Homo-oligomer: A and B are copies of this chain.
Amino acid sequence: MLTDRQQAVLDFVRAQHERLGLFPTLREIQAHFGFASPFAATRHLQALEKKGALTRQPGKARAFTLPASRHSSASWSGGGLLSIPVFGVIPAGLPAANAQEIEPDESVAVDAASLGLRRNSRVFGLRVRGDSMIGANILEDDIVFLAPREPTPGQIVAALIDGESTLKRFLHQRGRPFLRAENPRYPDLLPAAELIIQGVMVGLLRRTA
């Protein structure tokens, strides 16, 4: 069992790695805790290592490993994490080359593989408003993930109509595309102009807590 001081050191090591992507040096730990000697930091790290709370590579700078506590970012080694910008209203500029510069309302992190995507895929998220897609089991406040790609009929897409984005199912009839809400209370949309598809749905995240 870690002592309070040891836990504090471990928390600092973990927090530095989360914030900066770097583990701290002995002297950075010394400075943070106000130790007069870097060896005090060494003593704590040695105790943490003995108790299995971290491992060190002898003689190497900043070389820690935090063992799999399965619920922390330090243990994620599956790679391919996506930081996905989420919009409440999709900016008309999406998907554009400079889309990354449009400030999202929030961001969520999900690993690419669980959405069936390659690492570093371009994805954005849309916070669902309303109940127009309830028939497709998409609820208000869900985050729908969309990738910019050409849709095939039957897929759910974000489309730009009259300067606004809408989430609908993409279908064809007699060679002409149209959009269907998955709620009988909403009519089909047959766009007068060419349909601009901003993204095709690749996944969904729901929070129920």
Q: Which residues of A contact B (CB under 8 A)?
A: 17-23, 25, 61-66, 68-85, 100, 107-111, 113-117, 119-123, 134, 137-139, 143, 147, 155-156, 201-209
Contact = CB atoms under 8 A, between A and B. Distances in A.
Contacts of A83: 68, 70-73, 75-76, 78
Contacts of A115: 207, 209
Given A71-B83, A71-B122, A117-B209, 6 more contacts: A21-B65, A72-B119, A76-B83, A109-B111, A114-B143, A204-B204
Given A110-B109, A143-B114, A19 B209 contact: no
A35 B117 CA distance: 34
Within the oligomer, what is the number of copies of this chain? 2
Contacts of A111: 108-110
A114 B25 CA distance: 32
A103 to B, nearest CB: 11
Could you say which of A77, A83, A138, A139 has the most chain B C-beta atoms within 10 Å of its C-beta?
A83
